[in-house]
Structure 1
Amino acid sequence: MKVNNETDIIRLIEQDYWMMDILHYAKSLKLPDWWICAGFVRSKIWDELHGFTKRTPLSDIDVIYYDPNNLKEETEKEYEDHLRALNPAIPWSVKNEARMHLRNNVPPYESSIDAISKFPETATSLGVKLDSKDRIILTAPYGVHDVIHLEVRPTPYILENQLLATLYKERILNKNWISTWTNLKIFHC
């Protein structure tokens, strides 16, 4: 399947029963401002663009939400436990973006999409969720150009801060995505 735009990305996910199941599991939590983001979306696109017939394993499935009224980390763990009860084979990770600024030592995020916009790479700054009619909604604060053109570059947020730029460089080395997706073009700060 060709992946040229947001519509193609949504169609790609709609045709993946495993991804749709995961979206339904996450939706069942009824979290405020929830999304499944990062590698869940990015890796699917890169796998498709590389012609892979087998899914590249994910270290986790990032479910995020935004609830400034409950910043307890224990609540996140309860959500992870609930998701593990639905499907224990999935490496669930649930985070409330209303508290993640404390862990990341940055100013507070205003929403889940604001948090996604501050992810390290534009190609990773993606999220999907289901609306009330189970249609996929895609958020891409920097658009989908980079992810569908296999370009890995820092987000503007990363470029604004030298410390974050250094962490971006380390992350690119540690992730070593190019060893899996050989057609990637990596851009440095």
Structure 2
Amino acid sequence: MTNSHQRITRWIENDPLRVEVLTAAKTLNLKNWHIGAGFVRNLVWDKLHGVNTTQLNDIDLIYYDEDKSSAELDLYYENQLKEAMPINWSVKNQVRMHIRNNHQPYLHISDAISYWPEIETAVAVKYNENNVLEFVAPFGLEHLFSYTITQNSKNCDSDIFNARVKNKGWLSKWPKLKVIKNAT
């Protein structure tokens, strides 16, 4: 277990809301599920900047199940989670998301998130069957600690990347971050 892995694990385990989110997600018993995007990224950036201001205003739950790939099922899962926790949940089976993104079919969760626009965003976590945090990070966890927002050249063109950096206000929230374009 790397130092980065240990630090993030400790931070999540000491965050009651994140523990509650992961626990709620686990109750769905989805195949190959994780919670990603800002769930881990924002926590790390908050800690690096010595702030606790970032709200969990949306939760991105992803899973990979070739046998259950309808958008209606994703909405059903979202509604179940919203009943358990009134947060804005987004549930997406990555089996079909390649169609929306105009990619080749994704092979698994790690492959799917390896196309996310920033490499720091491409981190996901879940509780495994033993209630131990399990991470998927195709680019590793160390990027999260480098004070960077790094464009993933595997998928993201500069216009999309620049718009995301601006619209999400990352440089205002976390002013020590530096933008790195076209890196993998």
TM-score range, shorter chain: over 0.9
1:99 deviation in Å? 0.8
CA distance in 1, matches of 2:62, 2:97: 10
Which AA in structure 2 matches 1:17? P
Decide which of 94, 107, 116 is 1:110's aligned counterpart: 107
Which structure shows the bigger proportion of residues in strand conformation? 2
Q: Could you list the per-position Cα deviations for residues 88-107 of structure 1 after superposition, in whole angstroms to 9, with x for gaps in the alignment?
A: 1x111100000111111111
Q: What residue is the counterpart of 1:83 in the other structure?
A: 81
Q: Which moved more, 1:54-63 or 1:141-150?
A: 54-63
* CA root-mean-square deviation: 1.6
Q: 1:134-149 alignment to 2 at 5 Å?
A: 134-149=131-146
Decide which of 136, 159, 166 is 2:159's aligned counterpart: 166
CA distance in 1, matches of 2:94, 2:84: 23
**Structure-2-length-normalised TM-score:** 0.92
**Structure-1-length-normalised TM-score:** 0.90
Q: Could you list the per-position Cα deviations for residues 27-51 of structure 1 after superposition, in whole angstroms to 9, with x for gaps in the alignment?
A: 0001111000010110011111111
Q: Which moved more, 1:72-81 or 1:141-150?
A: 141-150
Displacement over 6 Å in runs of 4+: none
Task: Report if aligned partners of 2:165, 2:171 keep a CA contact under 8 Å in 1.
Answer: no
Number of aligned residue pairs = 181
Which AA in structure 2 matches 1:61? I
Task: Report if aligned partners of 1:169, 1:188 keep a CA contact under 8 Å in 2.
Answer: no
Decide which of 121, 125, 129 is 1:128's aligned counterpart: 125
Q: What residue is the counterpart of 1:178 in the other structure?
A: 171
Unaligned runs of 5+ residues in structure 2 are: none
Q: What residue is the counterpart of 1:27 in the other structure?
A: 26
CA distance in 2, matches of 1:48, 1:11: 12
Which AA in structure 2 matches 1:28? T
Q: Structure 1 residues 103, 186: closer, same or farther in 2, change over 3 A?
A: same
Q: 1:48-67 alignment to 2 at 5 Å?
A: 48-52=47-51, 54-67=52-65
Give me the identity figure in percent: 39
Unaligned runs of 5+ residues in structure 1 are: none
SS class of match (1:33): coil
CA distance in 2, matches of 1:120, 1:4: 25
CA distance in 2, matches of 1:99, 1:12: 32
CA distance in 2, matches of 1:105, 1:21: 34
